[in-house]
A and B are shown apart, each in its own frame.
Chain A
Amino acid sequence: MTKLTIRAAVAALALLLAGAAQADRVAISALPAYHAECAACHMAYPPGMLPAASWQRLMGNLPKHFGSDASVDAATLKQLSEHLAANAGTFKKVARDPSPPPEDRISRAPWFVREHDEVDPAVWKRKAVGSASNCVACHVNAAQGSFSEREIRIPK
């Protein structure tokens, strides 16, 4: 390989990596009520990671939210619903296929399952992980909307 080809290959790789890093960044919610109400029990999932139809169903059923009572007052519910409707489905992989995942779970979306297919089932059961809803267990900067491969630390 000539020097020039190597340089071109390096440049191409850098571009590719930059693109990949961009794809791993997801917009996080800027609504304080979303963090106060939802992130008490789980990470404030990026609103763009579910399509509007899923958020609408979830907000319509907060007293029975995946087995927990997550009810909020009417004014807060309206605020959360509008915020989620406005920001739903903006994540690239959801925009590409905005069909609601089974049970409206981010973790059941085909893109999510594909991205995690190399993770050993035993890893999910580790005490420090617990369930697929605990993004931060491995994606250390998930709360900041960063899911890049380089920022994964799988706990022992």
Chain B
Amino acid sequence: MPHTPLSRSTTRRGLAAAALALAATAAHTATPAELLAGYTTQAGSPAQAARGQAFFSTTHGRAWSCASCHGATPTQAGKHAGTGKPIQPLAPAFNPERFSDPAKVEKWFRRNCNDVAGRECTAGEKADVLAWLTTLKP
């Protein structure tokens, strides 16, 4: 069926409504700064970006470091060390989806700290890493 101007604008309106609905359901409920503040409070001491970078770049008794999959400077896409699957940039300034959903952030800290360190990360370690990631700017 050929698109008349009317049907096209109706389609556009439909799409806009769908996009809005999607934005409403997507859990963008925090900013990286808010998450960092939360972890810092929990840790009870100020976050240190340099310590975060060190944690990120070194291994912790297991084969992989954070950098093994995310890359040494996670401003670009990384690659899963086991499967080769591309991993979108982790630094929030390069990927606005990152550190926007607290539940997702917690899930991935839990999984990945377990892979890298064989335990959950402390609030202080999370704060340090996030502090470092937020210093990475285009």
Contact = CB atoms under 8 A, between A and B. Distances in A.
B110 A41 contact: no
A68 B110 contact: no
Given A69-B115, A71-B110, A41 B85 contact: yes
Contact of B83 (A69, A128, A130): A130
Interface in B76-90: 79-80, 82-85, 87
Interface string B84-117: 1101000000000000000000010011101100
B108 to A, nearest CB: 8
Nearest to B113: A69
Nearest to B88: A40
A131 B111 contact: no
Contacts of B110: 69, 71
A144 B87 CA distance: 19
Contacts of A63: 114
Count class of interface residues, chain B: 10 to 19
Nearest to A127: B84
Contacts of B115: 67-69
A133 interface: yes
B48 to A, nearest CB: 26
Contact of B82 (A67, A71, A72): A67
Interface in A54-74: 63, 66-72
B85 A134 contact: yes
Nearest to A126: B84
B78 to A, nearest CB: 12
Contacts of B112: 69
Contacts of B79: 130
A43 interface: yes
A129 interface: yes
Interface string A92-135: 00000000000000000000000000000000000011110110
A16 B135 CA distance: 59
A129 B83 CA distance: 9
A63 B85 CA distance: 20
B84 A131 contact: yes
A133 B83 contact: yes
Interface of A: 39-43, 63, 66-72, 128-131, 133-134, 137
17 contacts: A40-B85, A40-B87, A42-B82, A63-B114, A67-B82, A68-B82, A69-B110, A69-B112, A69-B115, A71-B111, A128-B84, A129-B84, A130-B79, A131-B84, A133-B82, A133-B83, A134-B83
Given A41-B85, A68-B111, A133-B84, 14 more contacts: A39-B85, A42-B80, A42-B82, A43-B83, A43-B85, A67-B115, A69-B110, A69-B115, A71-B111, A72-B107, A130-B79, A130-B84, A133-B83, A134-B84
